């Protein structure tokens, strides 16, 4: 799966940034910054981990826009299953 540089959600453009220092500066491998409309993903991970983190942050962004309250384990479960569906379906890369 190719991680895009930008995604559209709720009429907004969210920038996606691969950040080699995210884990050191934020103690996280992914981060959605709503005030900046930006998703940051730790860049020095395996591709499948980056994809999963990207989808996790995308779901988090959708929850913010939709005012949906999910606890972290629910969000993570949803992201893992979406990642599998998007990367293992016929026709996916």
In a domain, residue 93? The reply is no
In a domain, residue 57? The reply is yes
Query: How many other CB atoms sit within 10 Å of the CB of residue 48?
Result: 11
In a domain, residue 1? The reply is no
**Mean of all residue pLDDT scores within the chain:** 93
Domain range spanning residue 15?
6-88
Domain tally for the chain?
1
Tell me the C-alpha distance between 71 and 89, whole Å: 27
Q: Taking 60 as the threshold, does the pLDDT of residue 92 lie above it?
A: no
- Give me the helix-helix angle, 72-88 and 47-66, nearest 10°: 120
Q: For residue range 9-31, what is the model confidence (pLDDT) as tens digits?
A: 989 999 999 999 999 999 899 99
In a domain, residue 24? The reply is yes
In a domain, residue 69? The reply is yes
Task: Name the pTM for this structure.
Answer: 0.90
Distance of CA 38 to the CA centre of its chain: 10
């Amino acid at each position: 799966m190719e991680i895009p540089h930008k995604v559209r959600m709720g009429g907004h453009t969210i920038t996606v940034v691969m950040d080699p220092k995210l884990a050191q500066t934020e103690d996280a491998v992914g981060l959605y910054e709503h005030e900046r409309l930006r998703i940051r993903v730790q860049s020095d991970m395996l591709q499948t981990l980056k994809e999963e983190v990207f989808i996790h942050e995308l779901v988090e962004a959708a929850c913010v826009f939709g005012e949906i309250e999910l606890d972290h384990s629910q969000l993570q479960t949803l992201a893992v299953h979406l990642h599998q569906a998007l990367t293992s379906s016929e026709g996916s890369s």
